[in-house]
């Protein structure tokens, strides 16, 4: 495979394999990860309720998991955004061009044509 020639001083072309995933794909992935975390949390609550009287240590661990998992789920979902492929380009500030100097126009009075009064 040969490399494409490029001029000196020009940045290399962005590779499609390094492009970031689309926003809808990212949101869908976050929703799946959050749903899995909430299913595990629900299982912890059910396990806690089932083992409260028989095995209090297991119930305590399940309670701790049910309390900690929502925080961890949110942090993991938000942290994934920074780990995506590709670089995040800086936002380029576009400065508006100054408006051209205004030209003052002199007013002109246009009167309707006069009609013959004899008619």
Predicted confidence band at 87 (pLDDT cuts at 50, 70, 90)? low
pLDDT in tens, 6-54: 667 777 766 666 666 677 887 888 888 888 888 988 998 999 999 989 9
Q: How many residues does the chain have?
A: 119
Nearest alpha carbon to residue 83 among 75, 91, 71 = 75
Compute the average pLDDT of residues 71-89.
Answer: 66
- Give the residue carrying structure tokens 């008619």: 119
């Amino acid at each position: 495979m040969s490399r494409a020639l490029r001029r000196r001083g020009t940045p290399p072309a962005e590779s499609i394999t390094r492009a970031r995933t689309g926003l809808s794909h990212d949101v869908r992935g976050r929703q799946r990860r959050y749903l899995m975390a909430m299913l595990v949390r629900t299982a912890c609550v059910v396990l806690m309720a089932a083992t409260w009287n028989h095995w209090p240590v297991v119930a305590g661990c399940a309670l701790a998991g049910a309390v900690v998992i929502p925080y961890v789920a949110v942090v993991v979902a938000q942290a994934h955004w920074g780990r995506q492929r590709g670089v995040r380009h800086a936002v380029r500030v576009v400065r508006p061009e100054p408006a051209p100097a205004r030209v003052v126009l002199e007013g002109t009075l246009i009167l309707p044509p006069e009609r013959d009064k004899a008619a």
